[in-house]
């Protein structure tokens, strides 16, 4: 097997492990809501294990660049999502009458635009040393640099935001 095939396999494994991470995290939240604490804990542990696998595959594949390169990649990825991917998804979900999907895609699309802007701000001010805090909306994924009164995307109270 050549090096290119191995890199392809590492990236396929990265994608699979990343999806398993999120799936098991969703299962953990559901088990917790159902009062099944042991299942919730195992799903959460497995989710974290899948993250370990995914990160190692990504590292071995040589996919983590310099912080500047990673920020540029993040801007490009988020921009693609909010400009190209999600608008089509929203249109198709609307045509199918799937209101829950329209809301899910719309929230994500608006949040991805914010993410791209924040990554670009970090690139534009790369040598800034003053620490900045970020605040995550737990409902739609919006990120702010100060706690808002309410989320500008989904309206959740700012008191629910998670500090980073």
Domain of residue 159, CATH code: 2.20.28.10
Q: List, in order, residues 6 or more apart from 106 with CB less than 8 Å away.
A: 86, 90
Q: Which domain holds residue 108?
A: 65-130
Residues 12 and 56 in one domain: yes
Residues 139 and 153 in one domain: yes
- Which domain CATH number covers 115? 1.20.1260.10
Number of domains in the chain: 3
Q: What is the CA radius of gyration of the chain?
A: 18
pLDDT in tens, 43-90: 999 999 999 999 999 999 999 999 999 999 999 999 999 999 999 999
Residues 51 and 80 in one domain: no
| Residues above pLDDT 90, as percent of the chain | 98
Residues 135 and 155 in one domain: yes
Characterize 6-20 residue by residue with b for buried, 16 or more Cβ atoms within 10 angstroms of its Cβ, and e for exposed: eeeebeebbeebbeb
Residues 10 and 55 in one domain: yes
Per-residue pLDDT for 1 more than 80? no
Residues 112 and 94 in one domain: yes
How confident is the model at residue 145, as a pLDDT?
97
Residues 90 and 136 in one domain: no
Residues 142 and 101 in one domain: no
- Reported as a pLDDT band with limits 50, 70 and 90, residue 3 is low
Residues 50 and 96 in one domain: no
Does pTM top 0.85 for this prediction? yes
Per-residue pLDDT for 2 more than 80? no
- Reported as a pLDDT band with limits 50, 70 and 90, residue 105 is very high
């Amino acid at each position: 097997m050549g090096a290119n095939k191995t890199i392809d396999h590492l990236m396929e494994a990265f994608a699979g492990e990343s999806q398993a991470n999120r799936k098991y995290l969703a299962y953990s939240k559901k088990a917790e809501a159902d009062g099944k604490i042991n299942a919730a804990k195992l799903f959460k542990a497995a989710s974290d294990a899948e993250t370990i696998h995914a990160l190692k595959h990504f590292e071995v594949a040589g996919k983590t660049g310099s912080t500047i390169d990673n920020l540029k990649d993040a801007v490009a990825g988020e921009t693609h999502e909010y400009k190209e991917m999600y608008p089509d998804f929203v249109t198709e979900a609307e045509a199918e009458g799937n209101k829950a999907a329209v809301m899910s895609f719309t929230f994500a699309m608006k949040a991805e635009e914010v993410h791209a802007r924040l990554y670009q701000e970090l690139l534009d001010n790369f040598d800034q040393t003053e620490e900045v805090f970020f605040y995550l909306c737990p409902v739609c994924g919006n990120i702010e640099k100060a706690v808002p009164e309410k989320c500008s995307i989904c309206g959740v109270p700012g008191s629910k935001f998670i500090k980073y």
